[in-house]
Amino acid sequence: MNFVESIFSSTKILFVKEKIIDESFRISLFTTKKLSPHILFLVDPAVSMAVELAEEISRRTGSVVFTGIRQNPDVDLINRIVENYRNENPDIIWGIGGGSTMDTAKAVALMLDNEGDFEEFLHGAKSFKKRTRILIATPTTAGTGAEVTRFGVYTDRNGRKISLASSFLQPDYAVLIPSLTYTLPPAITAATAFDALTHALEVLWNRNSDPVTDELAIGVAAEITGIMERAFDSSLSGSIDGRDEMLCAATKAGIAFNLTGTAAIHALSFPLSEEWHLPHGAACAFFIEDVWKLNAGNPEVKRKLDRVASITGHKNSEELLEKILKVRSRMNLPSTFNEAGIEAEKEDLFEIFLKTLDDFKMKNNIVEVTPQVIGEIVTAKV
Ligand SMILES: [Fe+2]
């Protein structure tokens, strides 16, 4: 991180390259100034090195580890964790895992200080008043950027995914431990890389972008385009080439979209995950060419995309998009409803995706997305 990048985020970014347990333990002491801080670890059970790390620090500090994390955290899971651990009164909430784990940690940290049903906060019936506990996030995937953002995504009792934005959700510390990403399997490496890429792109075609966020996002989009295939190859061969760089790039993309929000790709991606449980990154990759082409119709966006293309050694943004689509297909990510295993009538699909027009993320998109555009996108993918 250079100075310009670090001032974008109020999350302090710390790297742990070696001796991950010792260094992480020191970070836990440093954040609270207590010799034995009481930590509630929320850890993705699928990442054994993360579980070991949390258990070792817990042994030294008498802290607690929760590993019952689920993908797409829902209201009842958050309420249950808060109920179970309220009496522990932790000083630190430390989420170690992918986006779902970090989002769970963010909500739990907040709800420990705010009485009520999380569903009420999710729908705006109640507002958050404070967060007194230290929130630390450690990603085990290289994609969501949740470790540096003020956003969280939660499923309500109707099964709808809701994006929550609050400065209280922004972690105090992002502790990056690249070695936790070294064993990510190919499918997750692919999906999360596309999530990170689309975060950078959605800054470029965002109504909230400005010259500063653009500079950061152009650089990061170029960086990710250059690294993602190497990281994917490493997931196939068991090497670690490109992993550290991919983690840093995903965090930087998070810093960029934390300032602007996301846009049409993310709005369109939500029904794919809600209705057919497509992983978030795969759902973003699904719409990349449609939303890219739509926004490249705006001359300002086209100029930005051409700059990404030029940095990455491509003739223009059309050639760059072609390359990205080849990478998507090499990574076995679906590009049509059929490839995604989705069987539905075109009219029904249209109705489902039409609802995304009310999503605030869609309103961030610099080129207006109309019902006609939705119809064209759905038709192109049937
Ligand atoms: Fe995303």
- Centroid of ligand 1 to alpha carbon of 265 (angstroms): 9
Nearest to 49 by CA among 203, 144, 182: 182
Answer whether residue 3 shows pLDDT above 80.
Answer: no
Q: How many A from CA of 314 to the centre of ligand 1?
A: 25
Please name the amino acid found at residue 2.
N
| Residue-range domains of the chain with CATH | 3-180 (3.40.50.1970), 183-381 (1.20.1090.10)
Q: What is the dihedral of CA 60, 66, 72, 76, to 10 degrees?
A: -140
Cα 89 to ligand 1 centre (Å): 31
CA distances (Å), origin 279, targets 148, 221, 262, 358? 21, 21, 17, 22
The secondary structure of 222-274 as a DSSP string is: HHHHHHHHHHHHHHHHT--TTHHHHHHHHHHHHHHHHHH---HHHHHHHHHHH
Q: What is the model's pLDDT at position 6? A: 46
Distance 203 CA to ligand 1 centre (A): 12
Note the pLDDT tens digit of each residue in 6-19: 445 589 999 998 89
Q: Can you tell me the mean pLDDT for 174-198? A: 97
Compute, in angstroms, the gap from residue 94 CA to the centroid of ligand 1: 21
CA of 303 to the centre of ligand 1 (A): 24
The residue-averaged pLDDT of 309-318 equals: 98
Would you state the structure tokens that stand for residue 152, as one six-digit string?
Answer: 């969280």
Contacts with 89 (C-beta within 8 Å, 6 or more apart), sequence order: 38
Position 10 scores a pLDDT of 85
Q: Span 109-126, mean pLDDT?
A: 96
CA distance 248 to 15: 10
- With helix as H, strand as E and coil as C, how does 80-125 read? HHHHHHHHHCCCEEEEEECHHHHHHHHHHHHHCCCCCCHHHHHCCC
Selection from 196, 207, 230, 203 nearest residue 218 by Cα? 203
pLDDT interval class at 1 (50, 70, 90): very low
Does 61 have pLDDT greater than 80? yes
Integer Cα distance of 115 and 108 in angstroms = 11
pLDDT at 112 over 50: yes
Output the CA 145–ligand 1 centroid distance in Å: 8
Tell me what pLDDT residue 8 has: 53
- Tell me what the mean pLDDT of segment 240-247 comes to: 97
Instruction: Name residues with Cβ closer than 5 Å to ligand 1, which is an ion.
Output: 195
Is residue 247 predicted with pLDDT exceeding 60? yes
Which amino acid type is present at position 180? L
Quote the pLDDT of residue 9.
59
Residue type for 104, please? T
The mean per-residue pLDDT over the stretch 44-61 comes to 96
Please name the residues in contact with 17: beta carbons below 8 A apart, sequence gap of 6 or more. 23, 178
Residue 240: alpha-carbon gap to chain centroid:
21
* Residue 233 in tokens: 């190859």
Place of tokens 């009219």: 347
* Cα 196 to ligand 1 centroid, rounded to whole Å: 7
Express each pLDDT in 352-378 by its tens digit. 999 999 999 999 999 999 999 999 999
β-strand partners of 64 = 40
Ligand 1 midpoint to CA 238 (Å): 26
Tell me the average pLDDT of the chain. 95
> Residue 44 Cα, ligand 1 centroid: separation in angstroms?
18
Q: Using 50, 70 and 90 to split pLDDT, how confident is the model at 299?
A: very high
User: Strands 161-165 and 151-155: what pairing?
Assistant: antiparallel
Residue 156, pLDDT > 80, answer yes
Average pLDDT of the residues in 274-294: 96
The bridge status of strand 173-176 relative to strand 12-15 is parallel
Determine contact, residues 224/113, Cβ cutoff 8 Å.
no
Q: Is the pLDDT of residue 191 over 80?
A: yes
Per-residue tokens: 322? 């072609």
Classify 136 as helix, strand or coil: strand
CA of 280 to the centre of ligand 1 (A): 7
Element (H, E) at 161: strand 161-165
pLDDT at 267 over 90: yes
Q: What is the DSSP string of 324-366?
A: HHHHHHHTT---STTTTT----HHHHHHHHHGGGGSHHHHTBS
What is the percent of the chain with per-residue pLDDT over 90, rounded to a whole number?
Answer: 95
